[in-house]
Structure 1
Amino acid sequence: MIEVEKVIIVEGKSDKKKIATLIKEPVEIVCTNGTISLSKLDDMIEQFFDKEVYVLVDADEAGEKLRKQFKREFPHAEHLYIDRSYREVATAPVQHLASVLLGADIDIYTEYL
């Protein structure tokens, strides 16, 4: 079994599906389904404390709320941002998402760049 070192936290299944197709290396993608309880967040912190954690959420009110929660409870996570004009991870162009992920040293299939 491959040991996964990187974890990307997204809001929804469509976000997960979209970015999973771009990523070349083994990465765990976790959906919060929009909101997250403190107990679920605590479980995540325990589960991923020794991994590289990235937060990639929508550029909208719900995404910002989630991002604030992660910054408070999970300060070592790295935050990735999509361009505000796209608003949602699921609707952002694949080239844009690929370059955001590549900027965080996540290995991407070159055809998406």
Structure 2
Amino acid sequence: MLKEVIVVEGKSDIQRIQQAVTADCIATEGFTLRKGVIEQIRVAYEKRGIIILTDPDTAGERIRRVLTKKFPNAQHAFVPRNEAFANDDIGIEQASPESIRRALSVLHTETIDSSNEFTMADLVSHGLSGFPNSAELRASIGAKLGIGYGNGKQFLYRLNHYGITRAAYEAAVQSIINKEL
């Protein structure tokens, strides 16, 4: 059983998580984030720690941002978008148990201070920004690094705030570029 409590968006997500791992979960029940739910998350955060695992879509990212502001030392897990899509729907409930276990094996805690290790020039030089296939490359490299998908600005933020090292970034880039050749 995981020590931390996993925070997801809905009851279907909890059912899918429980097919993958033994863990306690809290559902935000959407973006409203009622006071009672926030209090449940706060108690879990203070006593056991939390892992935020929201859907890889716009609503999920908005929920993640709100929760990160309230709970800055929360851990983050990301299921890649292409592994969370089925039945014309995207979400954790669509992900396979293997994808969920993989996401939970690579956790990141956002740091307040930016490492400033990476710049937009890094993204451009590796084709991750400004090119027709940049979004696909960011998605693949984000999955490899366990930081999820994001537009160029969000991806750069995650590189600099989730403790990604230059060596890990370069290895992920090379791995994805070599796979495409």
Tell me the distance in 1 between the aligned counterparts of 2:92 and 2:100.
8
What is the deviation of 1:95? 1.6
Match 1:7 to one of 5, 8, 15: 5
Partner of 2:29: helix, strand, or coil?
A: coil
Aligned to 1:61: 58
Aligned to 1:108: none
Give the AA of the match of 1:6: E
Aligned to 2:47: 50
Match 1:99 to one of 99, 102, 119: 102
Runs of at least 4 residues off by over 6 Å: none
Match 1:28 to one of 7, 24, 28: 24
Structure showing the higher strand proportion among its residues: 1
Tell me the distance in 2 between the aligned counterparts of 1:32 and 1:60.
15
Give the AA of the match of 1:83: P
**Structure 1: tracts of 5 or more residues without a match:** 105-113
Tell me the distance in 2 between the aligned counterparts of 1:43 and 1:102.
24
State the number of aligned residues: 100
Give the AA of the match of 2:27: C
Partner of 2:7: helix, strand, or coil?
A: strand
Tell me the distance in 1 between the aligned counterparts of 2:12 and 2:37.
20
Q: Do the aligned partners of residues 48 and 71 (structure 1) sit closer, same or farther apart at CA in structure 2, a change above 3 Å counting?
A: closer
Quick one: higher RCO (CA 8 Å, sep 6+), 1 or 2? 1
Structure showing the higher helix proportion among its residues: 2
TM-score by length of 2: 0.49
**Contact conserved, 2:45 with 2:71, CA < 8 A, in 1?**
no
**Structure 2: tracts of 5 or more residues without a match:** 85-89, 108-181
Partner of 1:9: helix, strand, or coil?
A: strand
Matches within 5 A, 1:74-113: 74-85=71-82, 86=84, 87-104=90-107
